[in-house]
A and B are shown apart, each in its own frame.
Chain A
């Protein structure tokens, strides 16, 4: 009988290397690499009294000299909790002597006949679209529309699915996400508990390319020293599956164009953006992550995150017509009241 993986947690970090050494049978499971993430894999382990699959994502530091993407993923999850967006629940682990994140199998919380399809698969179902071709957020919405029409899915379910994606895009703008492509969105499909076909945005699991985790340590120090450089670099954080061409002012899908496109589309989006500005709290997220990992996020990354967060929030407030200083005063006041 394999040991519980939780027993290998030390200082908030699960030692997968040690676990695999003591539980060699686990290695026999023929893990399958995710289609789009060559380094990520599934592993069958014992956790919380039952055997389950966990998804292991080693820190991708072959291009970077740091492993901040492990922390950015956890911070992203905390920020999304503050505005009610579902994400996976990740933990830090040590794998192959490097940091990694692990998360539970998201589909285990759904009914037996439900399974996951990737956003790319939805796009590929539409003959004209392949994952290599350029696409934008409206193509993803079209693919969902076609899927719902084909499967006779209720209009309200389709609307909710599209609305959830729009909310994710808005929240991604706040968190400076740079990699929200169709293959970074998963969908739970199949028969729901009422035996009806359904489609639902799955809890987000590709969240590490956010909050400035795509920079080398030297670049981070340079940006912390130079406000202009920081502003320029932060403006270049955009998503691949962004605003449609006809709404673009520049060649690339600039975050501001995407935000205007989404808030102009629907008042609910505008309200959600305001809700994000009011409710997302980076200090709270840092505090919760440090509590979860029972340790500290590297100091320089923490400072960098605070600076870029404020920079982006100020710019978003300008777009939304919100007084940034008043917003911060309100947040400070609410915190004071909570403490009292």
Chain B
């Protein structure tokens, strides 16, 4: 599974899930472009290259979608995994006050 974090349509961070590890890599060129357009690099400074959990930028946003599917749309835990990818790609986990969006590709 691979997760792309976009900021204002620029892919700044890619997270690959390998076994139980999340491996993060930064797209340097896009990051510098984003920085020039106001992206605060501080938000990425504490993200580990290799971690056993998702970076909080992604975790917070995906967590909200999970809650929506669980509580609002009454989707069972079995269906959750399947539905969540579609929903994340449809909405990009994006709020009107936000510039982040998230894409998920399942291998």
Q: Which of A40-55 contact B (CB under 8 A)?
A: 42, 53
Q: Which of A258-299 contact B (CB under 8 A)?
A: none
User: Given the complex, which residues of A lie within 8 Å of B72, measured CB to CB?
Assistant: 33, 38
Q: Is A25 an interface residue, CB under 8 A from the partner?
A: no
Q: If the complex has contacts A33-B67, A121-B60, A127-B46, are A190 and B96 also in contact, measured as CB distance less than 8 A?
A: no
In the assembled complex, the CB of B32 is this many whole angstroms from the nearest CB of chain A, namely: 14
Q: Is A83 an interface residue, CB under 8 A from the partner?
A: no
Q: By DSSP majority rule, is chain B's interface helix, strand, loop, or mixed? A: helix
Please determine whether A191 and B56 come into contact, CB atoms closer than 8 angstroms.
no
Q: Which of A167-193 contact B (CB under 8 A)?
A: 186, 189-191
In the bound complex, CA of A121 to CA of B64 (Å): 14
Q: Is A117 an interface residue, CB under 8 A from the partner?
A: yes
* Count of residues in A whose CB is under 8 Å from the partner chain: 32
Q: Is B106 an interface residue, CB under 8 A from the partner?
A: no
Tier of interface size on chain B: 20 to 34
Please determine whether B94 and A150 come into contact, CB atoms closer than 8 angstroms.
no
Please determine whether A151 and B40 come into contact, CB atoms closer than 8 angstroms.
yes
Q: Is B17 an interface residue, CB under 8 A from the partner?
A: no
In the bound complex, CA of A121 to CA of B46 (Å): 11
Q: If the complex has contacts A125-B45, A150-B40, A190-B39, are A116 and B97 also in contact, measured as CB distance less than 8 A?
A: yes
Please determine whether B38 and A38 come into contact, CB atoms closer than 8 angstroms.
no
Q: List 16 A-B contacts (CB under 8 A).
A: A35-B64, A38-B68, A42-B96, A105-B96, A105-B97, A106-B97, A113-B37, A116-B97, A116-B98, A120-B60, A125-B43, A127-B46, A189-B40, A190-B40, A191-B37, A191-B38
